[in-house]
Amino acid sequence: EAGVTQFPSHSVIEKGQTVTLRCDPISGHDNLYWYRRVMGKEIKFLLHFVKESKQDESGMPNNRFLAERTGGTYSTLKVQPAELEDSGVYFCASSRTAARGKLFFGSGTQLSVL
């Protein structure tokens, strides 16, 4: 069974540019999550999809971030325009159910905004 796949693994962009991160969850996992870890800080929740619907987007920092999950399969997270403070590692995770807390994580996308 393939795991959660994220790409790119690294992205270096300049302030003001746009970046799109992609996540392919484990097949059959309806729940998909985005998290972010800024260097030296906690991994912070961004949002949660159940199939194609946003169940909880309370962690999205501002309207420069747009997440989509068309068709309930893969998801994209777009940052436009990127700011310096957006730098960090963006993790995607998926699970079959949301209740038990066992998430399967991708290896993350390291985003550097210069």
What's the distance, CA 38 to chain centroid? 13
Toward another protein, which CB reaches closer, 82 or 91?
A: 91
Under the binding rule (CB under 8 A), the answer on residue 45 touching another protein is yes
In SS3 terms, the chain reads as: CCCCEEECCEEEECCCCCEEEEEECCCCCCEEEEEEECCCCCEEEEEEEECCEEEECCCCCCCCEEEECHHHCCEEEEECCCCHHHCEEEEEEEECCCCCCCCEECCCEEEEEC
State the chain's maximal CA–CA distance in angstroms. Answer: 39
Toward another protein, which CB reaches closer, 13 or 98?
A: 98
Total residues contacting another protein by CB under 8 A comes to 32
Name the minimum Å distance from CB 18 to another protein. Answer: 25
Name the minimum Å distance from CB 103 to another protein. Answer: 7
Binding to another protein, residues 66-105 (CB under 8 A): 91, 93, 97-105
Q: According to CB under 8 A, which one of 1, 2, 28, 42 is a site residue for another protein?
A: 42
Residues binding another protein (CB under 8 A)? 3-4, 31, 33, 35, 37, 40-45, 48, 50, 55-56, 58-59, 91, 93, 97-108
